[in-house]
Structure 1
Amino acid sequence: MAEAQRRVDFEIGELASPPGGRELTGVYLKGADGVVLTYGSGWGTVVLAQGQQESGAALPQPGAQGGDLALPTVALGGGVEATELSTPIGTGLRWNAGGVSYVLAGSVPAADLERAARELH
């Protein structure tokens, strides 16, 4: 983790309480400006991707392009909202906070993933 932190210009967030007690199993650099953390292994892996938010970038607003699918949002606290896609086999969250863009996904119930996102540090 320390090596990855030296290579990016933002503070890498880690899940304080990964769903199901999963352990951090991998830290991967994504180009020069992103990091992917994996928790667990196999089908049950939870993935946290993060990268520096581009200047002026914001999450797309539903309907802004005309006819876009409106995904639900969930409050993560501190005025931060995430877009959520939840299916019977897994959940994905996407949000921006503190100049960093995050995607958190895994084959876990939405409530578990939301809780993990709220406890990101």
Structure 2
Amino acid sequence: MLSVKTVIISAFALLLIGAVALAQEEPLPFPPGQQPDEFERTIQQMKFEKPTRIVGRLQAIDGYEDAIWIVWTHVHDGTRWRDLRNQSDMMFKVFPRDAGMMDFFRKLKLGTSLHLTVQMDADGNRRILSLDEGA
């Protein structure tokens, strides 16, 4: 049978370990619904409700859905290019306008920088409207 002293020491050790574990938890950077305007603007832009000029790096070819994955690096806000690289990498899938465009993407090396105009289509997919020649 355990002594009272052993039980008390064990209980104290568990309380101490629990307190240390709680102290190490990091609080959320922003309470839900209170993200800075920068985050809200980026979230709205990712909806691509209107044609949006973006720059991204080719990350992967999705042969199953005939699409590409890109890491979004810049967006044109209507007046200037905004650099998004200081935010966490935003990778997402976009669908080419047609089979010919997909064939073009298959010939590219991963990491190639692409200047695209993208808009959400009727099915809710991000569709590439045009492949642009750069800034």
Bigger fraction of residues in strand: 1
Bigger fraction of residues in helix: 2
Same fold (TM over 0.5): no
TM-score of the pair, normalised by structure 2: 0.26
Higher relative contact order (CA 8 A, sep 6+): 1
- Answer with 1 or 2: which has the greater Rg: 2
TM-score of the pair, normalised by structure 1: 0.28
